[in-house]
A = this chain, B = another copy of it.
Amino acid sequence: MAADQVKALIYDVFGTVVDWRSSIIREGKALGEAKGVQVDWSQFADEWRKDGYVGAIQKIHRGELPFTTCDALMRTQLDLMLPKYGIEGLSEAEIDHFSKAWHRLTPWPDSVSGLTRLKKKFVNSPLSNGNFALLTNMGKFGGLPWDCIISADVVGAFKPNPKAYLGSCTLLGLEPDQVMLVAAHVNDLRSAQKSGLHAAYVPRPREWGPNAAPADPTDPAFDYTATDFVNLAEQLGT
């Protein structure tokens, strides 16, 4: 069993540990009420995530954009979206605060209790394309019991670049087969496996909201498939 060999669990964060979508909708609604502006915040959240983050990271992989931080990507995208959605008259401090809504994402209901159990047996670290400050602040905001923070700016690469997975192992002083990625996204898990890491799939079917398509089916090549982090802790005997 992988659990006998694995010393550290590294976690995808956006969608896997935290519910980014409802958190951004919540922050958007608060801003809209304060400023008296009507916005479809579900659409806003999805566009911010898809174009500002997923799309921008793909451009960085293709060499069309230089390496930068998640914070910078989110701010660039927000600056494009504010006029498009008719959100006007914000001060620089208000824009900065809203842009850092990504530091204030709420964990899924099982995340803190599951991580607390898993921490008893394993080193628990994010491995996220978020940046170090974002993940550190999010950990404090949500009470996530991380042992350390591993981020794109620490390993110098965005997932699914192998440098991200292998750089995490180097930092932790472990061989790839002593580390397991926990993620809600099958592509992330398959990339980790290509670098020799173990893989635990925790589908989060509501990541993209109540009307999203079902989560991808699991892959028999994954070491574990769990319904949530508490279930993963049970399967890993902690």
Contacts and interface: CB of A to CB of B under 8 A. Distances in A.
A147 B153 contact: no
A71 B173 contact: yes
A134 B135 CA distance: 21
Contacts of A147: 136, 139-140, 146, 149
Contact of A140 (B123, B137, B153, B174): B123
Interface in A120-157: 123, 125, 131-137, 139-140, 146-149, 153-154
A31 interface: no
A154 B123 CA distance: 18
A71 B172 CA distance: 12
Per assembly, the copies of the chain total 2
A171 interface: yes
- Contact-residue bracket for chain A: 20 to 34
A172 B71 CA distance: 12
A54 to B, nearest CB: 22
A172 B123 contact: no
A148 B123 contact: no
A134 B173 CA distance: 8
Given A148-B149, A154-B154, A173 B140 contact: no
Nearest to A151: B171
A172 B132 contact: yes
Given A139-B147, A146-B148, A147-B140, A133 B71 contact: no
Nearest to A119: B140
11 contacts: A125-B136, A131-B173, A132-B173, A133-B172, A136-B172, A137-B173, A140-B147, A146-B148, A147-B149, A148-B149, A153-B171
3 cross-chain pairs, A with B, having the tightest CB-CB distances, nearest first: A133-B173, A148-B149, A132-B171
